[in-house]
Amino acid sequence: MQERHVLGIDVGASGIKGAVVDIETGELLNERIRLETPEPSTPEAMAETFAELVRAHNWRGLVGCGFPAIVKKGVAHSAANISKEWIGRNIIEVFSLAAGCPVEVLNDADAAGLAEMRFGLGKGQDGLVLMITIGSGLGSALFIDGQLVPNTEFGHIYLEGQKAVAEAYASNNARKRENLSWEEWGQRFNEYLLHLERTLNPDLILLSGGASKRFDRFESFITGETPVKPARLLNAAGTIGAAVYAYQRLRKG
Ligand code: BGC
């Protein structure tokens, strides 16, 4: 195991995925392993799955973790799509105790954004870059001249006429749950992007996570002026970004 190799784990509401990452190149050094997120997704149950994933990699070194919540100093401050028992819990403590490894943690969308800015389409992009991850929820990562503004929650804004937050209306889960066609969902997602465009004025919007792989199915419904592109790293972004983040934290001491 080399110092520049870090196990990246992307904790999601439906799956927990991990791979060893070369943080210099962003390459995955093995096939990603995916385990189902336990239901209910309590800290104790998730810690067991996390530890199982670490064991499956036969890993004892540093682990970087993307987690689907507002994360400040390792503590979860929200739990939109996971057990509410997470709120106030120290994710670093819960996972590092279970896995027996040092763990660093950040928001999952921020992790995906970090990877895409470093190794993908965001590389060298100045100005305001907004990445939206389309999965069980809608995650967001915002960058100003390449610098992350952590813990933005643009999946939780309200769209005109809607009684629930945007992710309940325009996430990939909403598409599946309501059995929407790509056109119906694409129009909803477009409404969402137009609202973000009007309020944030980004220079570039990148899409990541589940539905971004099907960009060809909904691209024609996107009508805003800001360029919108599917991220290059697709599903591996969260895993890679989590590993890069952990390495950077370690370096800072
Ligand atoms: C959470 C975010 C997370 C996103 C994607 C949202 O429901 O509030 O923190 O980044 O889902 O997992």
162-201 pLDDT tens trace: 999 999 999 999 999 999 999 999 999 999 999 999 999 9
211-252: pLDDT as tens digits: 888 999 999 999 999 999 999 997 899 999 999 999 999 877
* Residue 57 within any structural domain of the chain: yes
Q: Is 17 exposed, middle or buried (0-12, 13-18, 19+ CB in 10 A)?
A: buried
Domain that holds residue 143: 125-231
Q: Which atom of ligand 1 is nearest to the CA of 12?
A: 12
Q: Are residues 139 and 102 in the same domain?
A: no
* Residue 50 within any structural domain of the chain: yes
Which pLDDT belongs to residue 252? 72
* Residue 119 within any structural domain of the chain: no
Question: Taking 60 as the threshold, does the pLDDT of residue 210 lie above it?
Answer: yes
Q: Which atom of ligand 1 is nearest to the CA of 78?
A: 8
> pTM for the whole thing?
0.97
Per DSSP, helices labelled H in 62-181 are: 91-99, 108-119, 166-170, 172-177
Distance from C-alpha of 93 to C-alpha of 43, rounded to nearest angstrom: 11
* Residue 94 within any structural domain of the chain: yes
Q: Choose which residue among 41, 86, 138 to substitute to test ligand 1 binding: the one with the highest number of ligand atoms within 8 A of its C-beta.
A: 138
Q: Are residues 100 and 144 in the same domain?
A: no
* Residue 151 within any structural domain of the chain: yes
* Residue 115 within any structural domain of the chain: no
* Residue 141 within any structural domain of the chain: yes
Question: Taking 80 as the threshold, does the pLDDT of residue 93 lie above it?
Answer: yes
* Residue 120 within any structural domain of the chain: no
Q: Which atom of ligand 1 is nearest to the CA of 69?
A: 9
Total tally of structural domains belonging to the chain = 2
Residue nearest to atom 11 of ligand 1 (CA): 137
